[in-house]
Amino acid sequence: MVTITDIAKACGVSRATVSKALNGAPDIKAETVERIRECAKEMGYHPNAAARALKMGRSYNLGVLFSEPTGVGLTHEYFSRIFESIKAEAERLGYDITFISQNLGTMTMDYLEHTRYRSCDGVVIASADFHDPAVVRLGESDIPTVTLDYIFDSRTAILSDNIQGMEKLVRYVYEKGHRRIAFIHGELTSVTQKRLASFKKTCAALGIQVPPEYIREAAYHDPRSSALQTRALLELPNRPTCIFYPDDFSYIGGMNELERQGLQIPRQMSTVGYDGIHLSQVLRPKLTTYKQGAERMGAEAAKQLIEEIEHPDTWLPQQITVEGLLLEGGTVAEPG
């Protein structure tokens, strides 16, 4: 590896001078800077991140926390899209990414300790059990953090517009003429609660009665439970004309069940998903759904985190809501 010492020798200056020249210190002659820079380039010099981290207490390394109790993890397109955009934005700003976990090899450490171990300058908490003490500890530490879809007090949070998204979907199907709308939702997380509340509120605002048996709990990303709840809805004496699913992927279960019962989508049953994953737009008919702004959420998370890291003095915690986009699709028709 070529170090500043090598360059110092090659240029006949001291290591200090090299360091200064490379970092744009104001007290080196422009000519010298030029010479050293050129030499460094020629010799293929690149700084050593470890040495720099040790000396400066700054690693230019961001921790990312994706701890998924369910185990879907990055297999879920929503999260992989978020991750990809965190990564892209971080790289654009000169930061690498390290995954934060617990129990590295024989060492047992919690998330905060792992973060310290790798000298991460900050952590994006992208998906986690926010009641896990280890997660709370990280969120309450002095390490800059940004959370996604959850708010820690005095921390920046990036939020998907679940309330508005659901409202738009409900209003869309309302305008198509639907009055009997059912909602199969996922496990009761804080995100689910927002969507559920927005669903109910919007229905109320529109003067729609939602019988309690129209609200059913399934699970995210699990077509089987959605199929089951679809069947239950179809057995009701007063069937809905439109069914909302927890997300696009679990909609597949509903879709299969409807087909199995010989019901055409959307002629005999309208359907709505959530997420706007790639799959939803290659199905026929395309699924009517709400595409969350995952790319912007990830990019914003990285950007805000780095902002806090680099300008802690002028920084203020923010809650940034990222809008999504209603994808009209073709699974909602006027009820027969």
Residue 13 engages DNA in binding (rule: CB under 7 A) = yes
Q: Which amino acid, 327?
A: L
**Counting contacts by CB under 8 A, is residue 6 touching a copy of itself?**
no
Which residue from 158, 194, 157, 178 is spatially nearest to 274, judged by alpha carbons? 194
Element (H, E) at 311: none
Map residues 267-306 to x or -, x wherever contact with DNA holds by CB under 7 A: ----------------------------------------
Q: What is the DSSP letter of 263?
A: P
Per rule CB under 8 A, is residue 25 in the interface with a copy of itself? no
Report the residue from 9, 42, 48, 261 that binds DNA according to the rule CB under 7 A.
Answer: 48
The one segment of 15-23, 165-173, 177-185, 190-198 that binds DNA by CB under 7 A:
15-23
E strand map for the chain: 61-66, 96-99, 122-127, 145-148, 156-160, 181-185, 215-217, 242-244, 270-272, 289-291, 319-322, 325-327
Q: Check binding of 231 to DNA (CB under 7 A).
A: no
- Span near DNA by CB under 7 A; candidates 54-62, 136-144, 149-157, 217-225: 54-62
Q: Which amino acid is at 45?
A: Y
Distance CA 163, CA 91 (A): 31
Q: Which does 43 bind (CB under 5 to 8 A by kind): a copy of itself, DNA, none?
A: none
Question: Residue 253 binds which one of a copy of itself, DNA, none, with CB within 5 to 8 A depending on kind?
Answer: a copy of itself
Residue 298 or residue 335: which is nearer to a copy of itself going by CB?
298
Q: Pick the closer one to a copy of itself by CB: 125 or 196.
A: 125
| Per-residue CA distances from 127 to 122, 131, 158, 197 (Å) | 15, 12, 12, 22
Q: Under the criterion CB under 8 A, does residue 91 sit at the interface with a copy of itself? A: yes
Strands ordered across the beta sheet of 242-244? 215-217, 181-185, 242-244, 270-272
What angle in degrees, to the nearest 10, is found between the helix axes of 248-260 and 223-234? 50
1 binding DNA? (CB under 7 A): yes
Work out which of 9, 10, 17, 281 binds DNA, going by CB under 7 A.
17
Least separation in angstroms between CB 115 and DNA: 15
Q: Tell me the sheet residues that pair with 107.
A: 104
CB of 202 to a copy of itself, least distance (A): 30
Cα torsion angle, 137, 141, 143, 144, sign: positive
Q: Which residues bind DNA (CB under 7 A)?
A: 1, 3-5, 12-17, 19-20, 22-23, 27-29, 32, 45, 47-48, 51-52, 54-56
